[in-house]
């Protein structure tokens, strides 16, 4: 309590400091997004007038892919964007592109799934236990994939899987799922950014909308992607989702608001206004047990936003998920926009992403626990989030108990990962060493070999 008071005092001190001019420094903003259901807070903040309430005039622009979006933010064509949580972290440490990108706001938790082709599903199914109704028991372990791998190997065919970006949640999630089932997804090294060194299955980048078509063509045998592209495969009858991220590693920051650090520094009022508008949109999306979700589906089905058919969008947005055709199960937390402190940029979430980058060689050398914490804290900025939240509480627009004032940035609840391994964001190195497959300790990938 004392701590909470101290923090509140600090925040009001900051607030009074800038009280001289609280107007946004930049009022006209262009924000980028990718056509996925979790861009919803942006659409809602625009359509419900939250941006204008905050004195911001925002133009939302759909981007072709994650790389174009990241470059847009870095070169200033976009003031900010709906980013994969791993993107600001990777950019800041210089994997791929080097630029200091930060985030004051997390869009959502969860929202992805892994789908395999019908052919693979048939090979997998015998190894999966059935429940009383004859339906497969979830969560499904990647071990069930083993017969499919062997069948492909016997025919001399490579086993290809798709994901959307090298530092995407999807890549890490798919790798996590595979490794938990004893299948090696391959390493990255400084000289080889394909991520297929020593791989039993070959993961490669496919843009989200092309996933179903690529699966249908047989170029890939499965993929991990956000919605609506898993439900689309079910609707088309070409694949079966086998695991959602709730099964694999639940409750982790999925998309974040990515802003350039120098932009945040130069425009604190703009960033605060932007964060306030997005918090209000997120609250609206989760209000009264998702009562507004069907309206949200209508809004984002407009071609200017996600544009997919409302029926397909509604599948995952309204608390259910269809696995095999007709196997519809309740997944109330598939998309979480506000509850469970979803918007707070937890240091521990950032550390988790960094551990996965280290695990697969995207971070080529061992780092200290302190490095993980400091890197995470230089990118995920909860103080900005809490400042905006506090001002909403002060204005009577949000209840104080909705926000984790006083949190130290490390999630309290235990990890519910598919391999049941505990994750403690405070000791990332111990966690990395506990993972069954992946780089440990001082190991490095040199050429095609793991050394050390």
Partner 1 sequence: MSAIDPATFPDRAARRARLFTTINRLDGWFQVLGLSFVTPLLRALAGDNPAAQMKHIWRLLGVPLLAIALFLALWATLAPRVVTSLGAIPGPGQVWEQALVLHSDHVAERSKAAEFQLRQDARNAELVAAGQADRVRERAYTGSPTYYAQIWTSVQTVFFGFLIATAIAVPLGILAGLSPTANAALNPLIQIFKPVSPLAWLPIVTMVVSAVYVTQDGVFSKSFLTSAITVTLCSLWPTLINTSLGVASIDRDLISVSRVLQLNTWTKITRLVLPSALPLIFTGLRLSLGVGWMVLIAAEMLAQNPGLGKFIWDEFQNGSSSSLARIMVAVFTIGIIGFILDRLMFALQSLFTFSNNR
Residues of this chain that interact with partner 1 (CB under 8 A) are: 23, 27-28, 35, 52, 57-64, 68, 75-77, 208-209, 212-213, 216, 228, 232, 236, 238, 301, 303-304, 306-309
- Given its phi and psi angles, is residue 113 left (phi above 0), alpha (psi -120 to 50 degrees) or beta? beta
**In angstroms, what is the minimal distance from the CB of 278 to partner 1?**
16
Output 213 or 412, the one with its CB closest to partner 1. 213
CB 282 within 8 A of CB 41: yes
**In angstroms, what is the minimal distance from the CB of 90 to partner 1?**
20
**In angstroms, what is the minimal distance from the CB of 41 to partner 1?**
17
State the Cα torsion 116-121-126-128 to the nearest 10°.
30
Nearest to 208 by CA among 336, 32, 33, 30: 33
Output 19 or 420, the one with its CB closest to partner 1. 19
**In angstroms, what is the minimal distance from the CB of 86 to partner 1?**
21
Output 170 or 358, the one with its CB closest to partner 1. 170
State the Cα–Cα distance between residues 292 and 285, nearest whole angstrom: 6
First to last CA, the chain: 47
CB 349 within 8 A of CB 380: yes
State the Cα–Cα distance between residues 331 and 317, nearest whole angstrom: 10
State the Cα–Cα distance between residues 418 and 433, nearest whole angstrom: 17
**In angstroms, what is the minimal distance from the CB of 394 to partner 1?**
21
Q: Is 335 exposed, middle or buried (0-12, 13-18, 19+ CB in 10 A)?
A: buried
**In angstroms, what is the minimal distance from the CB of 309 to partner 1?**
5
**In angstroms, what is the minimal distance from the CB of 201 to partner 1?**
24
Output 62 or 151, the one with its CB closest to partner 1. 62
Output 304 or 332, the one with its CB closest to partner 1. 304
At 188, give phi and psi (nearest 5°). Answer: -95, 155
Q: In whole angstroms, how far apart are CA 317 and each of 30, 212, 247, 286?
A: 26, 19, 17, 11
Output 36 or 393, the one with its CB closest to partner 1. 36
Output 75 or 449, the one with its CB closest to partner 1. 75
**In angstroms, what is the minimal distance from the CB of 79 to partner 1?**
9
Output 210 or 443, the one with its CB closest to partner 1. 210
Q: In whole angstroms, how far apart are CA 212 and each of 82, 227, 417?
A: 23, 12, 27
């Amino acid at each position: 309590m004392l701590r909470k008071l101290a923090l509140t005092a600090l925040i009001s001190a900051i607030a009074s400091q800038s009280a001289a001019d609280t107007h946004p420094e930049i009022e006209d903003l262009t924000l980028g997004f990718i056509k996925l259901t979790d861009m919803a807070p942006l659409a809602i903040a625009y359509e419900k007038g939250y941006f204008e309430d905050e004195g911001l005039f925002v133009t939302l622009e759909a981007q072709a892919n994650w790389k174009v979006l990241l470059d847009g933010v870095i070169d200033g064509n976009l003031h900010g964007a709906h980013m994969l949580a791993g993107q600001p972290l990777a950019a800041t440490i210089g994997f791929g592109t080097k630029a200091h990108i930060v985030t004051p706001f997390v869009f959502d938790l969860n929202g992805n799934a892994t789908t395999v082709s019908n052919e693979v599903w048939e090979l997998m199914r015998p190894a999966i236990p059935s429940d009383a109704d004859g339906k497969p028991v979830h969560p499904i372990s990647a071990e069930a994939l083993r017969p499919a791998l062997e069948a492909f190997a016997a025919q001399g065919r490579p086993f290809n899987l798709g994901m959307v970006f090298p530092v995407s949640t999807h890549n890490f999630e798919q790798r996590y799922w595979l490794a938990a089932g004893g299948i090696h997804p391959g390493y990255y090294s400084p000289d080889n950014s394909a991520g297929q060194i020593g791989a039993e299955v070959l993961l490669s980048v496919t843009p989200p909308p092309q996933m179903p078509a690529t699966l249908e063509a047989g170029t890939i045998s499965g993929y991990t992607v956000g919605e609506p592209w898993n439900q689309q495969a079910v609707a088309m009858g070409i694949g079966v989702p086998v695991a959602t991220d709730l099964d694999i590693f639940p409750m982790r920051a999925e998309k974040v608001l990515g802003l350039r650090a120098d932009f945040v520094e130069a425009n604190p009022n703009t960033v605060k206004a932007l964060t306030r508008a997005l918090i209000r949109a997120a609250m609206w999306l989760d209000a009264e047990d998702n009562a507004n979700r069907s309206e949200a589906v209508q809004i984002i089905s407009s071609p200017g936003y996600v544009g997919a058919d409302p029926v397909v969008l509604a599948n995952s947005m309204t608390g259910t998920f269809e696995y095999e055709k007709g196997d519809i199960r309740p997944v109330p937390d598939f998309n979480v926009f506000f509850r469970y402190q979803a918007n707070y940029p937890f240091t521990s979430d950032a550390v988790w992403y960094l551990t996965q980058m280290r695990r697969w060689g995207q971070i080529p050398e061992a780092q200290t626990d302190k490095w993980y914490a400091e890197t995470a804290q230089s990118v995920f900025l909860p103080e900005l989030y809490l400042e905006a939240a506090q001002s909403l509480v002060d204005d009577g627009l949000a209840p104080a108990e909705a926000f984790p004032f006083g949190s130290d940035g490390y999630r309290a609840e235990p990890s519910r990962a598919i391999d049941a391994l505990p994750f403690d964001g405070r000791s990332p190195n111990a966690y990395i060493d506990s993972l069954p497959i992946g780089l440990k300790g001082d190991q490095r990938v040199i050429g095609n070999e793991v050394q050390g």
